[in-house]
Amino acid sequence: MENNKIAISIEQQFGEVIDIILQHKSHASKAVNEALLLTAWQVGGYVSAKLKSEEWGNKVVSQLSEHIRSQHPDIKGYSKRSIYNMVMFYDEYSSETFIATIRKYLNTEFVQMPSAQIAASRSIQEASVIVQPKTAQIVQPEIGQMPKILELTTLSNHIEILCRCKSNEERIFYILYANKEHLSYKEMQRCISNQTYTALLGSKDNMSKGLLETYPNAPVLFKDTLFVDFLDLPKKHSEARLRNGLVEHMKQFILELGKDFIFMDQEYRLNIGASTIQG
């Protein structure tokens, strides 16, 4: 009995060590993601300024990509297409309309630039002062601040959102949704293809009459019903057909509910008094 208690205690201690490892691993992943986003933001902003001033053209961007590939083969991810994606990343998210939309729906903390960006910007500015002549410093393009909300998901997810979502409200929704559900790139693609935004937030028809009467000017909210369009059920269907569809497509269903949902079993017997029911 005493040995079992000791074994359980040791397992608990081992679990605490694992928690520490996972916590720092998570912090490291966030730091890496933030660094990648800031790099894309800075590169995108620099190239965007060159293109807008007509100092650079499409040919120069191709030359830049080839120069990086040939001179620094260890640096990956800077094809011509990737560089233009970074320009889009900067242009769209630095726009006044996007910033205004963030301020409208979210707290001001999501607009403020990350602390790491402050340090990075200072380092870049200090390096420029040291190694560049004054004439070069004058023409150095000014790069705007990256909104903190962009830290909530990966660069690949951002590019997918930017390419496929047109409104700023929809883009903000998918950024927040990707963060909440820890969506991978493939999962993000599927959610956009399934029009999750429209299904969950697209209309006030999802709100109850009482809520609309009490708060007539309220923004669109999440609807109460589950988003199960992947089952391909007809508009009118039986509960049994819904249940069978969910059992057959449980993986997709878990993704729709969120990853905190756990499926116990296909059948669960519940005893109530002298009766037994199955659920």
Predicted local distance difference test score (pLDDT) of residue 133: 45
Q: How far is CA 258 from CA 22, 146, 174, 188, 246, in A?
A: 21, 28, 14, 13, 14
| pLDDT band of 109, cuts 50, 70, 90 | low
pLDDT for 84: 97
3-state secondary structure of 44: helix
- Determine phi and psi for 232, rounding to 5 degrees: 55, 40
Q: Is the pLDDT of residue 44 over 50?
A: yes
User: Could you write out the DSSP letters of every residue in 62-91?
Assistant: HHHHHHHHHH-TT--S--HHHHHHHHHHHH
More confident position, 249 or 77:
77
CA distances from 206 to 27, 160, 168 (A): 38, 27, 21
- Condensed to tens digits (0 to 9), the pLDDT of residues 137-196 reads 434 456 788 999 999 999 999 999 999 999 999 999 999 999 988 899 999 999 999 888
- The answer to whether 230 touches 195, Cβ cutoff 8 Å, is no
Q: Which residues, at least 6 apart from 164, have a Cβ–Cβ distance to it below 8 Å? A: 192
What is the token pair recorded at 32? 């890496």
- Retrieve residue 211's tokens: 């809520």
Return the closest-CA partner of residue 186 out of 168, 160, 162: 160
Q: What is the mean pLDDT of residues 195-212?
A: 66
Give the pLDDT mean for 239-245.
75
The pTM (predicted TM-score) of the whole model is 0.62
Contact 83, 69 (CB under 8 A): no
Strands 269-272 and 275-278: antiparallel
